[in-house]
Structure 1
Amino acid sequence: MAGDPEAVRALWETHRRWVAAVILAHKPRDAELEDLLQEVAVRYVRTIHELRDPASLRGWLRAVAVNVARTAGRRSSTRLRLTKGGAAGMSAGVGATEDVSVEVAAAEEGRSALEAAQRLRPEYREPLLLRCVRGMTYHQIAHAMGLPITTVETRLARARRMLIEEMERHRTGAAND
Structure 2
Amino acid sequence: MAFFFSKKPASVAQDLSISGAGDGTSGLDTFEVELLGHLDTLYAVSCRMTRSTTEAEDLVQDTVVKAMRARDQFEPGTNLKAWLLRILTNTFINRYRRGGLERDILEGPDVESLTDGWIGATTMRGMRDPETAALAPLVEAEVQRALDDLPPEFRVAVVLSDIEELSYKEIAEAMGTPIGTVMSRLHRGRKLLQKTLRDHAVAMGIVSEGSSNKADQAPTDLAAYRKRKRSAAV
1:65, 1:10 → 2: CA distance? Answer: 22
Correspondence for 2:147: 117
2:103, 2:74 → 1: CA distance? Answer: 35
1:85-164, aligned counterparts within 5 Å? Answer: 108-109=139-140, 111-164=141-194
In structure 2, do the counterparts of structure 1 residues 137 and 150 end up closer, same or farther at CA, with 3 Å as the change threshold? same
The one-letter amino acid paired with 1:53 is: Q
Q: CA RMSD in A?
A: 3.9
In structure 2, do the counterparts of structure 1 residues 128 and 11 end up closer, same or farther at CA, with 3 Å as the change threshold? same
> Contact 2:66–2:87 at 8 Å: present in 1 too?
no
In structure 2, do the counterparts of structure 1 residues 75 and 129 end up closer, same or farther at CA, with 3 Å as the change threshold? closer
SS at match of 2:38: helix
1:1-177, aligned counterparts within 5 Å? Answer: 4=28, 8=32, 10-18=34-42, 20-21=44-45, 24-25=48-49, 27=50, 32=52, 34-46=53-65, 48-51=67-70, 52-55=72-75, 57-58=83-84, 59-67=86-94, 69-70=95-96, 74=100, 108-109=139-140, 111-175=141-205
Relative to the length of structure 1, the TM-score reads: 0.61
> Contact 2:138–2:201 at 8 Å: present in 1 too?
no
1:72, 1:13 → 2: CA distance? Answer: 30
Structure 2: 5+ residue runs without aligned partners? 3-26, 110-135, 207-234
Aligned residues: 147
SS at match of 2:164: coil
The one-letter amino acid paired with 1:119 is: D
Identical counterparts, % of pairs: 23
**Shift of the alpha carbon at 1:44?**
4.3
**Shift of the alpha carbon at 1:106?**
9.4
**Shift of the alpha carbon at 1:7?**
5.8
Correspondence for 1:97: none
Structure 1: 5+ residue runs without aligned partners? 84-104
In structure 2, do the counterparts of structure 1 residues 108 and 11 end up closer, same or farther at CA, with 3 Å as the change threshold? farther
Stretches of 4+ aligned residues off by more than 6 angstroms: none
Instruction: Between the two structures, name the one with larger relative contact order (CA 8 Å, sep ≥ 6).
Output: 1
In structure 2, do the counterparts of structure 1 residues 140 and 47 end up closer, same or farther at CA, with 3 Å as the change threshold? closer
